[in-house]
């Protein structure tokens, strides 16, 4: 352990007290045109949504049944014609047909997650093409016998909006080709890709009980660029908060922290982590009980893994807590952002009893222990 940890020991002893509860036209023409081959990866404005679309959500899985008039009022004209009237954009005309950014593709009409960039392939048809959908409910299918052809239409699994067609001439492993209208898709780059300077910025994902609490604290730490509340470590893709609460997804409530290494560092991130939650409780924090509240560090690389194991050993050796630390150190696989109302929960709900009684004391404890490190 680096000698800096002597400081942690003393710090921990003085500040760790009983933690409270926390907290796609005719696509048969594909391949007959000659595409220009300048694929691009530059993040760009690929958003086709209108800012006043109140139904747009990446996490809401409730089926949308809206009147044609409502759709017309909330969608841009081109999207409305494709999504609601099965129009098809011209080949090679959309923003995404040769786009290669890393991230997720959503239904532009309702925000529902549809495809990941790693399922996109370079197709010469002039429309964005994927060999696989993101999850089994992402889309729905229906026979399309228009233009005297037998095709399979692909519709959004949430809003039923027309996306394109499905063909059996895609690449391995599925040999499927989801031939989509570019205008029907929104692309959002993975968070890491938008990081301005990857050498200075680092990301860590931590589970310390209720994410409202942990997020509230890290939002205040100098050097922290962003904190998002969400779920990691489980088996269900794109889980909802409700599913996670039921305890069957195996996800933990986590915060994903992007920080500037020149202002803070892993050591300090971990110090804060072990200060604001009780790492000796198995699958609970105070009155919040369940595997979703487990104490866990999801590491992205060897350095993070070693740092996490080191601090845990040091804290155990120094008997900072009266019981052994149970914090799991697991390899990061995926982070699913929680519904929007979970983000910045403490800031937006300061008068709620839970915030005043559970989160506020944790924030105050953090502010006291790290008073020189507050933004």
Catalytic residue numbers read 179, 210
Smallest separation, CB 56 to Zn ion (Å): 9
What are the tokens at 52?
Answer: 């006043």
Q: Write the burial class of residue 281 (CB in 10 Å: 0-12 exposed, 13-18 middle, 19+ buried).
A: buried
Q: Which two tokens stand for residue 25?
A: 């036209």
Q: Express the helix, strand and coil content of the chain in percent, nearest 5 each.
A: 30, 25, 45
Q: Please, what is the minimum distance in Å from the beta carbon of residue 168 to Zn ion?
A: 24
Gap between the Cα atoms of 131 and 109, Å rounded: 22
Closest CA to 205 of 325, 335, 310, 312: 335
Binding site for Zn ion (CB under 5 A): 107, 109-110, 112, 156, 158-159, 161
CB distance 290 to 242 below 8 Å: no
User: Which strands form 120-121's sheet, in the order they lie side by side?
Assistant: 120-121, 129-130, 177-180, 162-167, 151-156, 139-144
d(CA 84, CA 374): 50
Question: What distance in Å separates the CA atoms of residue 154 and residue 161, rounded to the nearest whole number?
Answer: 9
Q: In the structure encoding, which two tokens stand for residue 137, read together?
A: 């409910």
Closer Cβ to Zn ion, 73 or 262, answer by number: 73
**C-alpha distances in angstroms, 313 versus 31, 133, 195, 329, 349?**
60, 43, 32, 12, 37
- Yes or no: say if 276 and 285 are a contact pair by the CB < 8 Å rule: no
Cross-strand partners of 231: 253, 336
- Determine the Cα–Cα distance for residues 313 and 140; give it in Å rounded to an integer: 50
Euclidean distance between CA atoms 295 and 239, whole angstroms: 19
Q: Which two tokens stand for residue 126?
A: 């002039």
| 106/231 with CB nearer Zn ion | 106
Cα 183 versus chain centre, distance: 23
d(CA 17, CA 228): 26
CB of 83 to Zn ion, least distance (A): 7
Phi, psi dihedral angles at 5 (to 5 degrees): -80, -15
Separation CA 365–CA 367 (nearest Å) = 5
């Amino acid at each position: 352990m680096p000698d800096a940890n002597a400081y942690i020991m003393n710090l921990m002893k003085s500040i760790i007290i009983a933690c409270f509860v926390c907290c796609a036209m005719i696509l048969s023409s594909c391949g007959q045109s000659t595409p220009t081959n300048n694929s691009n990866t530059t993040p760009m404005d690929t958003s086709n949504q209108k800012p006043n679309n109140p139904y747009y959500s990446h996490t809401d899985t409730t089926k949308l049944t809206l009147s044609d008039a409502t759709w017309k009022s909330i969608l841009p004209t081109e999207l409305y014609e494709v999504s609601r009237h099965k129009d098809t954009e011209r080949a090679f005309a959309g923003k995404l047909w040769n786009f290669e950014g890393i991230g997720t593709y959503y239904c532009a009409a309702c925000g529902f997650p549809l495809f990941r960039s790693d399922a996109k392939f370079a197709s010469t048809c002039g429309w964005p093409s994927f060999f696989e959908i993101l999850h089994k409910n992402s889309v729905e299918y229906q026979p399309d016998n228009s233009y005297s052809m037998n095709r399979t239409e692909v519709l959004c699994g949430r809003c039923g909006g027309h996306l394109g067609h499905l063909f059996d001439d895609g690449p391995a492993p599925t040999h499927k080709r989801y031939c989509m209208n570019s205008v029907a898709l929104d692309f959002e780059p993975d968070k890491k890709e938008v990081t301005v300077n990857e050498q200075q910025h680092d990301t860590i994902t931590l589970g310390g009980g209720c994410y409202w609490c942990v997020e509230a604290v890290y939002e205040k730490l100098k050097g922290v660029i962003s904190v998002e509340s969400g779920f990691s470590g489980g088996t269900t893709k794109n889980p909802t908060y409700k599913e996670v609460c039921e305890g069957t997804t195996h996800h933990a409530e986590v915060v994903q922290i992007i920080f500037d290494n020149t202002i803070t560092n892993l050591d300090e991130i971990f110090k804060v982590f072990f200060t604001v939650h009780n790492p000796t409780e198995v699958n609970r924090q105070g009155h919040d009980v369940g595997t979703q509240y487990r104490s866990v560090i999801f590491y992205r690389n060897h350095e993070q893994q070693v740092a996490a194991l080191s601090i845990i050993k040091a804290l155990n050796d120094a008997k900072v807590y009266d019981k052994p630390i149970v914090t799991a150190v697991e390899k990061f696989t995926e982070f699913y952002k929680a519904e929007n109302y979970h983000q910045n929960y403490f800031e937006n709900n300061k008068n709620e009893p839970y915030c005043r009684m559970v989160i506020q004391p944790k924030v105050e404890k953090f502010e006291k222990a790290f008073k020189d490190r507050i933004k």
